[in-house]
Amino acid sequence: MVREMKKLGREVDVTLTEEARRFVSIEALKWAADKVYDSISPKADHVEVHRYDAVVIYAATLNTLSKIANGIADTDVTLFAQSALGYGVPLIVVPAMHRMLRYRAQEAVKKLLYLGARIVYPKLVDDRMHIAGFYEVIGEVLSVHAHRRPRILVTAGPTFAHIDPIRVITNPSSGRLGAYVAERSLERLHPAALITGGYVIPRYPQIPVIKVRTNAEMKKAIRRLAEYFDALIMAAAPADFYTDKSDVKLSSDREHIIKLKPAEKVIEGFKRDFPNKILVIFKADVGEVVEKARTLMLKYSADACIADTPETFGGDYARARIVTKDGVEEFEGDKRRLADKIVDLVESLWIKNTS
């Protein structure tokens, strides 16, 4: 977990209980962390806890839980925890214990919640207690301070228009880029939510995911949530057409003529109803896409358009042009990097709008 936090550019210091030292060596941690407190020095390191964004107890045994809940500070870990509670530094506790002990831990957990600690609960799977995963814990750390930045609502994946009860009209969008944008938003301390018709979801469970199937469902979800966010990243690929749905499954033993009708545009009227929101739209097409992107920006009063080509659907590679009112930026590379660029764009637009 230390390495994963370091990948996100965070500074991570570590201290351990004597029991933890049986399983993890101090030397190994020194390679991964910025600093390892081998023991509390005469400088009283714990009083400097106010400089941290959060203190995480991973993993907290029943013994450690009970000590923190009852004000005991007889180890380096419990001393840092008590200092965090005293200074108002977010304390995130990740319990780990045998399933039969979880009932004994409930009183300690109640006390910790009362004191303001956050609990990342273990999962009961096949009659065994499994400690919360790294990304669940990291997501909790990131979400502690996410209120400081503009809030980002992301759409992703395709939508579906039924031909009959079984078959649908759709497209090959996976929703991967939208999920990456939501992840990078949280990693950069933006509150984020994802509305998706796709199958790829963010790795952080702290990001709310609203599943939709149709254009109407996606539009309704956007309108319901938009007032709580500062920006909408319309990375979804809603269906462009629909047809009159058959009430019964069409026979595959004969031909059928299907009449395609233009589908409702999910983004239609968004800027009219939410004029102060940042709107980033997408245009997937063949040929010269920049002029088409500019036309679309004018039509929907969008702040920017990510113009790409359909051959990048479904994979991790992207070739796109980031079109804004100030110009065009070429991009080619990994979709996670493109997601980062999109968050950069939202931040710059937000600063411009609020300055």
Q: Which domains, from first to last, does the chain contain?
A: 2-144 (3.40.50.1950), 149-354 (3.40.50.10300)
pLDDT at 226: 96
169's tokens: 């009209």
pLDDT at 124: 77
Q: Report whether 265 contacts 187 (CB < 8 A).
A: no
pLDDT higher than 80, residue 313: no
pLDDT at 149: 79
Question: What is the Cα–Cα distance from 270 to 222, expressed in whole angstroms?
Answer: 9
Question: What is the Cα–Cα distance from 338 to 317, expressed in whole angstroms?
Answer: 9
pLDDT higher than 80, residue 70: yes
Q: Which residues contact 226 (CB under 8 A, 6 or more apart)?
A: 153, 232, 270, 273, 274, 277
pLDDT higher than 80, residue 287: no
118's tokens: 């956050």
Q: Of the given ranges (109-118, 143-152, 255-264), which has the lowest mean pLDDT?
A: 143-152
Q: Of the given ranges (84-88, 256-260, 275-279, 315-319), which has the lowest mean pLDDT?
A: 315-319
pLDDT higher than 90, residue 239: yes
Q: Report whether 226 contacts 277 (CB < 8 A).
A: yes
Nearest to 279 by CA among 320, 309, 244, 323: 323
pLDDT higher than 90, residue 314: no
Q: Which residues pair with 91 in a beta bridge?
A: 55
Q: Which residues pair with 231 in a beta bridge?
A: 152, 278
pLDDT higher than 60, residue 317: yes
Q: Which residue type sits at 310?
A: P
DSSP per-residue codes, 300-327: HT-SEEEEE-GGGTTSSEEEEEEEETTE
Dihedral sign, Cα of residue 160, residue 164, residue 166, residue 172: negative
Q: Which residues pair with 196 in a beta bridge?
A: 156, 211
7-29 tens-digit pLDDT:
888 899 999 888 888 888 888 88
The neighbour count for residue 134, using CB atoms within 10 Å, is: 15
pLDDT higher than 90, residue 45: no
pLDDT higher than 60, residue 51: yes
pLDDT higher than 90, residue 63: yes
Q: Which residues contact 323 (CB under 8 A, 6 or more apart)?
A: 290, 293, 294, 297, 304, 305, 306, 307
Q: Of the given ranges (88-102, 194-208, 254-268), which has the lowest mean pLDDT?
A: 88-102
pLDDT at 273: 96
Global pTM reads 0.79
